[in-house]
Structure 1
Amino acid sequence: MSGRKQFDISAALDQAMRVFWQRGYADASLDALGSATGLGRGSLYGAFGNKDALFGKCLDRYSSIYGAQNEQALAAHPGDPVRAVEAFFDVILGRIADPSVPVGCLIAQSAAQSLTLKEENSAQVRGLLDTQRQRVRAALADSSADSHTLDELAMFVVAVNQSLAVLSRAGASDAELRSVARLACTTVADTLARAASEDVTQS
């Protein structure tokens, strides 16, 4: 058919996403991206625009896959915020342990390289982190803790999630990562329990 693309754009985007995920933005050369996708520079530019535009599309792709999984986990236990956070970390650790994908997290990798990103991409990374924080915050909402405490806990959970990605790239074992996640869940549970106790005392 005239004008039809001779390659699968979705498959090429997935391969490019893996290159950025594994190497980071700065070290994801056009040669590496072309080799992974099977596309020459002209085809890459024609399909996705420049490197920054391709990177932005890869961030969107990553978020659509893994952000959706995180959201499902956090929403799966209404009324039980601690279990929701446990399910969230289970999904995170499952992805980290999956040998079919690069180690770590594309968002964490990109956040660490924010100074090398164009402002538009850097803002996109910040936005994805904020979306994650909002999702965690929503899962924590069904508790008696005050808004400030819940805001702090949501940021704490996101911070631990990012640290898990960094530690995994540094070679931390699954057992070590699960220990970190377990302690984080204990912190969330203890903080919410303390807030509930204070609420009862004041009423």
Structure 2
Amino acid sequence: MSGRKQFDVDVALDQAMRVFWQRGYTDASLDALGAATGLGRGSIYGSFGGKDALFRQCLDRYAAIYGAQYEEALAAHSDDPVRAVEAFLDIVLARIADPSVPAGCLIAQSAAQSAILGEESGGHVRALLDAQRRRVRGALASAPADPRVLDELATFVVAIIQSLAVLSRAGSPDAELRSVARLACTTVADTLARATTAEPADD
């Protein structure tokens, strides 16, 4: 249409996503988002519905990009829960080590700011964390252990993922992050082994 600026929505989302990822929601001003995307305030509102709506779309974009990698890693080890968790954490560590993206994790960064997010955006972040837990829980499903143990392990793995993101953001070296991941995998393996060999409780 004549006089109307055309742009690639996916490219703009990627650019805005990096701003939220690097700066966090609070410091991702409309001016910063506009500078990154090349869009004016009117275009941001007209195309994405404003800062909050753009933020949620960026969260979904982030979850789709890395979620696909997580699913692929987990699917490759569907019969080995411990190896699946190792592969999952390998993807997390690879993302953290990637110099082409901001440090940390957009979801972890956003979760840390939940108190200042609006109700809808805060709920969106919580939903993405729940999706991570369900993804890990599904990878553990083949283990012959009490479902409550598997639920707890899934929550533990998600906590480790978020902790790795925070530590990397604070500048922890790769060797330390990998040490945390190894200990997490050992904990998962030991917990599953104990849960599998434990005698059933008396009624």
TM over 0.5, shorter chain: yes
**TM-fit CA distance, 1:3:** 7.9
Structure 2: tracts of 5 or more residues without a match: none
1:134-153 aligned at under 5 Å gives the runs: 134-153=134-153
Equivalent residue, structure 2, for 1:42? 42
- Which portions of structure 1, spanning 4 or more consecutive aligned residues, are displaced by more than 6 angstroms? none
Deviations 1:57-106 (A, max 9, x none): 10110111011211221222011000000000000000000000000000
**TM-fit CA distance, 1:198:** 1.6
With the length of structure 2 as denominator, give the TM-score of the two structures: 0.95
1:60-71 aligned at under 5 Å gives the runs: 60-71=60-71
Quick check: 63-72 or 168-177, which moved more? 63-72
**TM-fit CA distance, 1:49:** 1.1
Q: Distance in 2 between matches of 1:14 and 1:134?
A: 26
Structure 1: tracts of 5 or more residues without a match: none
1:29 is aligned to 2:29 = yes
1:156 is aligned to 2:156 = yes
**TM-fit CA distance, 1:199:** 5.4
**TM-fit CA distance, 1:37:** 0.4
Q: Distance in 1 between matches of 2:81 and 2:109?
A: 28
- 1:41 alignment partner AA: R
- 1:88 alignment partner AA: F
1:91-102 aligned at under 5 Å gives the runs: 91-102=91-102
Cα RMSD for the two superposed structures: 1.7
Equivalent residue, structure 2, for 1:17? 17
Q: Distance in 1 between matches of 2:64 and 2:132?
A: 12
- Are the equivalent residues in 2 in contact too, given 1:144–1:199 (CA < 8 A)? no
Q: Distance in 1 between matches of 2:4 and 2:127?
A: 34
- The total of aligned residue pairs comes to 202
Q: Distance in 2 between matches of 1:56 and 1:103?
A: 20
Equivalent residue, structure 2, for 1:185? 185
Q: Distance in 1 between matches of 2:49 and 2:120?
A: 14
- 2:36 alignment partner AA: A
Equivalent residue, structure 2, for 1:54? 54
Deviations 1:32-61 (A, max 9, x none): 000000111111111111100100110110
1:107 is aligned to 2:76 = no
Equivalent residue, structure 2, for 1:194? 194
- 2:84 alignment partner AA: A
Q: Please state whether the residue corresponding to 2:77 is helix, strand or coil.
A: coil
Q: Please state whether the residue corresponding to 2:145 is helix, strand or coil.
A: coil
Q: 1:132 to 1:3 in 2, by over 3 A?
A: farther
